[in-house]
Amino acid sequence: MPELPEVEITARRIGEAVTGAVIESAMAPGINALKTYDPPLTAVEGRAITGVGRRGKLFLISLEGDLTLVVHLMSAGRLQLFDSRASLRDRTSRFLLRLTDGRELRLREFGTRQRAWVKLLRSPELGAEETLTELGPEAWPDPPPLEQLLDEPRPLYALLRDQHVVAGIGRSWVDEILHAARISPFKRGSDLDPDELARLHDAIVGRLGDAIAHYQTAINLPIPDKLPMPLTVHRRNGEPCPRCGDRLEAVFYEDYVMCYCPTCQTEGKLLKDRRLSRLLK
Ligand SMILES: [Zn+2]
C-alpha cells in the first residue's frame, strides 16, 4: 500500500526519467479510471511532461500548457515506467501515457477492484480540485505544530491516517510512527502531553524521512511491483519488538491489521480484540 515515502520516491525516480519527454498519446483501459472528460484525453498529445510531483499520496504530473494529471493509486495501484508498450494482455493497466521515445508511463492496479484513478485538469481546476484542497498539511518534511493539528478526541491510529488532518500517512507507517513515539494507537489526539507531542513529531518526521532516504539508495527504475518497505512493526505481530524484545501484538480488523508493542506503547495492556478497540474509540 503506497504511502507518502513510496509515492515520494516514485515521483522522484519517474520525474527524473520523464521530465522533458513528449506524450504521443494517452489511453484509459481501466473501467472509470479517467474521472474527467473536459479537457479530452487527446489534449495531452504532443505536450511535454514538465515534472512529476506529489501531494499527500497523490501524484501530480505537470504538462506543458498548464495541464496536470492527478493520479491516485488508492490501495493497490502503482505508477511505473516501461521501455516498451504494454501488452494488451496486461489486465493491470488502468491508464497509459505513451511517450514519443517509445517508453510508456503506466498506472497499474493489482487485485480485482478497480479504484485507482486519474484526472486531467487545467490549472484553474487544479486549484479547486477537492481531493487536493481537502488534504491536510504534509506529514513530511515539516508538519505544522501537532498540538493544534491533532487536537481532536479521536484515537491517533485513526487521526494520523485521516488525510484531511495530515496528508501522507496510511496503515503501514502509522504503526511504525506510533511505535517509534512509544504511544498507544488508541491514545486520543487531544490527550497528548507536551512530551508525547514532541516524540510524535520526531517519529513522524524521522520514520518517513528515513524511509525516503532508504528508498533513495534502494530504489531505481523500474519501480518494482512491490516496494521493499523498511517496516519493523507493521505486520510483524508475533515477532520480537525491535526496541525491547517483547512480542509484538496486533488488533485485527476486517481487512487490515494494526500492530504495536504492549511494553513500549500500552503499559503492557493487550488490545487483541477489535470489539475492545471499538470501545476505546
Ligand atoms: Zn517494545
Q: Which three cell numbers, joined as nine digits, stand for 153?
A: 478526541
Task: Calculate how far, in angstroms, residue 256's C-alpha sits from the geometric centre of ligand 1.
Answer: 21
Task: Calculate how far, in angstroms, residue 76's C-alpha sits from the geometric centre of ligand 1.
Answer: 30
Confidence of residue 201 (pLDDT cuts 50, 70, 90): very high
277 has a pLDDT exceeding 60: no
154 has a pLDDT exceeding 90: yes
Task: Calculate how far, in angstroms, residue 139's C-alpha sits from the geometric centre of ligand 1.
Answer: 24
User: Contact 270/246 with Cβ under 8 angstroms?
Assistant: no
Distance, in Å, from the CA atom of 256 to the CA atom of 126, rounded to the nearest integer, reads: 32
Confidence of residue 278 (pLDDT cuts 50, 70, 90): low
User: Contact 142/205 with Cβ under 8 angstroms?
Assistant: yes
Protein residues placing their CB within 5 Å of the ion ligand 1: 241, 243-244, 246, 261, 263-264
**pTM (predicted TM-score):** 0.93
Confidence of residue 272 (pLDDT cuts 50, 70, 90): low
**What's the rounded mean pLDDT across residues 209-227?**
94
Confidence of residue 200 (pLDDT cuts 50, 70, 90): very high
Task: Classify residue 96 by its DSSP letter.
Answer: E
Sheet of 104-109: strands edge to edge?
23-27, 93-99, 104-109, 77-82
Task: Calculate how far, in angstroms, residue 217's C-alpha sits from the geometric centre of ligand 1.
Answer: 28
Task: Calculate how far, in angstroms, residue 245's C-alpha sits from the geometric centre of ligand 1.
Answer: 6
